[in-house]
Amino acid sequence: MTALYDILRDAKVTGAPTVEQLARLTPLLGNELHATLDSARVRRDADVLAHPDEKPAFADGDLFSSLFEGTTSAVPKAPGADAPVHRLVVRFRNDSVSPVVEWTDTVVVAMENGHWVVTDVRYAGNWPFANRGSLVASMQAVLHPPKYPSWQLELDGIGLGRVGMTVAAAERVLGPAKVERLEAGAVCGYANFAKLPAGVSFMVAGDTLVRANVSAQGVRTAEGLGVGSSEAEVRAAYGSRVTVEPHPYVGPVGHYLVVTDPSRPALLMIFETDGAKVTSFRAGRLPEVRLIEGCA
């Protein structure tokens, strides 16, 4: 895995790799990731020809980490037990910028054709304008934009609404908000934005989004989980990252399935169940994501 980042730095890869750069990277890339990167290169070159006075897609910036400027070092934590797929939490550093930036992303590696290759990178940078989501998904979103908006709950929000945004900032991408405080003058409340799907809201603390809530079918996670999914499906999707707790109201039959990400310890995703199926789920920052009744 570190060999990939050594080549990226040595070849000074920015944006989609060139034909020559991609050739150097090929032995270290999974088939889907390789094909997607090549498609991104084709798209960039086509944009340059069609619109020479405009900035093309995939023109610059590091695609393989959260930081636009890229990395100067990459140190992976040791993988767990042998498995066909490993999710390696990698500590990155860039000391060529001031101040120095350190962060962790998750690099997904898998066995293909008898050797280990990188298949995806899941970004975890939490600063403004950091890369979001994953390497493959972000490129596919540009290469094949959906006809209709895709709403997926992630650890730090949904759609363009993200934990840490002010309500005013979120209104610019999610439409006008109706904020309901639990009590007159209360700091805590819930915000419903015009463009959000039915059954989706944000908890707010003061003027800041702190968690996203989903109580209806239609919205799912990147793993395809949502209201109506089985407990078994949630456990299978997240493996050792999920902890089962009694539901505070309908336990011990019902449960909280609490999902963590080692690279983002300040965030959680919680699936509420009736013992068999997911009835609602939410994600956001601690401590608000764990609050049970309103903001208490």
- Using alpha carbons, select from 95, 100, 92 the residue that is nearest to residue 76: 92
* % of the chain at pLDDT higher than 70: 93
Q: Which two tokens stand for residue 284?
A: 């956001």
| Residue recorded with tokens 């020809």 | 49
User: What's the mean per-residue pLDDT of the chain?
Assistant: 90
Confidence of residue 145 (pLDDT cuts 50, 70, 90): low
Q: What is the DSSP string of 141-191?
A: HHHS--SS---EEETTEETTEETT-BHHHHHHHH--EEEEESSTT-SEEEE
Q: Which residues sit opposite 91 in a β-bridge?
A: 75, 104
Question: How many Å apart are CA 247 and CA 241, to the nearest integer?
Answer: 18
Tens of pLDDT, residues 183-194: 655 678 899 999
Q: What 3 state SS string does 109-126 have? A: EEEECCEEEEEEEECCCC
Q: Which residues sit opposite 171 in a β-bridge?
A: none
pTM of the predicted model as reported, rounded to 2 decimal places = 0.53
